[in-house]
Amino acid sequence: MDKFRNALEDCLLADLGFVGDPFTWRNQSHCSENYIRERLDRAVASAEWCGRFPDYRVINGDPRHSNHRPIIVIMNKDERERCTAGDKAFHFEASWVQEEHCKMIIQNAWHLTLDARGGNVVDAIREVGEELWDWSRNVLGDLEKRIKRAKKDLEECRRKAINSQSAAREEILRYKLEKLEGQRELYWH
């Protein structure tokens, strides 16, 4: 560790700090006596880099299916606002074409925009996207909300002191989240 610290000093690199869970690695033991959590991963940069990106922010992200949290560096306000607000950009899901009503939704939105409203292709594409997005929310129901809640519960559990109860609860919550995300993966892929 001393050699690593010296290398950082020689390169004039400093720790950028973070927002989120301070522990970036867990051994995910089911037993509190063997449970280990550490801050192994971090973002570093030079003073020149910090001057170039004064609005940077470092987030210890969601570990998903790993025992490591990703370190996410957001370098400007616009990107930070987009990430915190959630990316609302439309993306077409391949699984939609297997759904019974998908073709009808696309055709109705397309013809309504072009024929009834006299719109152009760009308007029709936008309308199709909006209709598909709305349909997707209604088809999925509250699955995304349940996933978000499970993530929040897991984060709260991970921030508590380690004991046999919290280790067991974390395992249950991790399993619940994996199951919910598996349902989403089955649906979307």
Q: For residues 62 and 7, state if they share a domain.
A: yes
| Count of structural domains, the chain | 2
Question: What's residue 95's pLDDT?
Answer: 65
Say if residue 48 is in the same domain as residue 101.
no
In a domain, 165, yes or no: no
Range of the domain at 129: 94-140
Instruction: Please tell me the distance from the alpha carbon of residue 62 to that of residue 24, in angstroms, as a whole number.
Output: 10
- 82 and 101 part of one domain: no
Strand-pairing partners, residue 44, are 15
Do residues 26 and 58 share a domain? yes
If asked whether residues 98 and 81 sit together in one domain, one would say: no
Closest CA to 16 of 49, 58, 48: 58
Question: Do residues 139 and 99 touch, judged by C-beta distance below 8 A?
Answer: yes
Specify whether 83 is located in the same domain as 99. Answer: no
User: pTM for the complete prediction?
Assistant: 0.47
Same domain, 108 and 54: no
- Based on the fold, state whether residues 78 and 121 are members of the same structural domain: no
Residue 122 to residue 29: CA distance in whole angstroms: 52
Q: Is residue 48 part of a domain?
A: yes
85 plus 133 within the same structural domain: no
Q: Is residue 127 part of a domain?
A: yes
Q: Does a structural domain hold residue 55?
A: yes
Residue 1: half-sphere exposure toward Cβ, Cα within 13 Å? 1
The encoded tokens of residue 185 equal: 């993966």
In this structure, the answer to whether residues 85 and 108 fall within a common structural domain is: no
3-state secondary structure of 100: coil
Q: Identify which of 81, 60, 55, 82 has the alpha carbon closest to the alpha carbon of residue 72.
A: 60
* pLDDT of amino acid 85: 46
Q: Say whether both 117 and 130 belong to one domain.
A: yes
Q: What is the pLDDT along the chain (189 residues), one digit of tens a residue?
A: 899 889 999 999 999 999 888 888 888 777 778 888 888 888 999 999 999 999 899 988 887 677 888 888 988 776 555 554 444 566 777 667 767 778 888 999 999 988 888 888 888 888 998 888 887 777 655 667 778 888 899 888 888 888 888 888 888 888 888 887 776 666 554
Regarding whether 109 and 41 lie in a shared domain, the answer is no
Tell whether 183 is covered by a domain.
Answer: no
* DSSP structure class, residue 169: H
